[in-house]
Amino acid sequence: MTPIRVGDIIIFLLAVALIIGSFSFYSTISGKPEVRVKSGAGESIYDLSVDTQATFKGPVGETTIEIRGGQVHVSESDCRNKVCISAGWISSPGEWIICLPNNVFVRIEGSLEEGSPDDTSF
């Protein structure tokens, strides 16, 4: 086994600094985030900070969204596979849930502070 060299320590410290520094880029929402729901009936806008429930009619039945604690999710839907329900809760601007069979699109809009990520993937 070879001994640890000065270069190894420098690389390790740079990696740790990079990891810790990357967390400073993630920030909170500034402004007033809102939930926009587009459905066959039009577009509705809800305040993300106000707990509420809303139901939208679509081609295969009804889709219900629930806003609670600064998050939103699809709580009930008459669609077949219920992928929109299994998407879970969303809370950051740019995140969205869609129920294709019922033609309901839920998106959180707002602004992020400068330096925060502008896209997510999963």
Cα-to-chain-centroid distance, residue 57: 23
pTM: 0.65
Class of domain 1-122: mainly beta
Question: What rounded mean pLDDT belongs to the chain?
Answer: 85
Higher pLDDT, residue 20 or 44: 44
d(CA 98, CA 83): 8
| Structural domain boundaries in the chain | 1-122
